[in-house]
Amino acid sequence: MVHHIDRWFQRFIKGMSKAVEVICMISVGAIAVVTILAFVSRYILQSPIIGTDEIALYLLVWITLLGAALGIHKNDMVALTLVKDRMNGKSLTVLNIILQLIIFLFSLLGLWFGTIWLLSSSILEAVSASLEIPLWIPFMIFPVSMLIMAVFSLNNIIKQLKNREVSASEAGEGEST
């Protein structure tokens, strides 16, 4: 039963990672198109398109937050590795689990407070300046990305614990021979 849940969870993680990657790729392409259109319309056609700066800004925020989630998923985050590089074995595993727990807790706090903020009347009733869309639409990426980060971090913790169990069982097998 546990094995089936683990396989399902790993498929879910893989699918979520792929979806986030696709959204990031589409967003990068969209921000390039929007920026080029804004430049051409403003400086060549002398008739700026309203809202292109807002679209580019919202896409940049989405790319940043979703990119951070992918960094957590791939364990490819910016880090000072001075201490980590000098560790190995069990102490490195413990440090990695502690770091992922901090990321997990930070993500849960971000999810909690981001949801409260998103559901506040100041956001629910507000509209953007030039696009005149409800602000909760572009701002919903904050709690959503925090949820994704928490799930990816939880997955990393599970992987670390599994690797630790595998290492311990291999060490036990080595002693018996």
pLDDT digits (tens, 9 = 90+) for 72-130: 999 887 776 777 777 787 888 888 899 999 999 999 999 999 999 999 999 999 999 99
Mean pLDDT of 29-44: 95
The whole domain housing 102 covers 2-176
Whole-number pLDDT of residue 39: 95
pLDDT: which is higher, 35 or 76: 35
Whole-number pLDDT of residue 96: 86
pLDDT digits (tens, 9 = 90+) for 50-60: 999 999 999 99
26 contacts: CB under 8 Å, gap ≥ 6? none
What span, in angstroms and rounded, lies between the C-alpha atoms of 105 and 98?
10
Question: Would you say 5 and 155 are in contact if contact means Cβ atoms under 8 Å apart?
Answer: no
Question: Would you say 143 and 114 are in contact if contact means Cβ atoms under 8 Å apart?
Answer: yes
Mean pLDDT of the chain: 89
What span, in angstroms and rounded, lies between the C-alpha atoms of 56 and 79?
28
For the chain, the domain total comes to 1
Question: Would you say 107 and 144 are in contact if contact means Cβ atoms under 8 Å apart?
Answer: no
Whole-number pLDDT of residue 119: 95
> For the chain, what's the residue count?
177
Task: Look up the pTM and report it.
Answer: 0.86
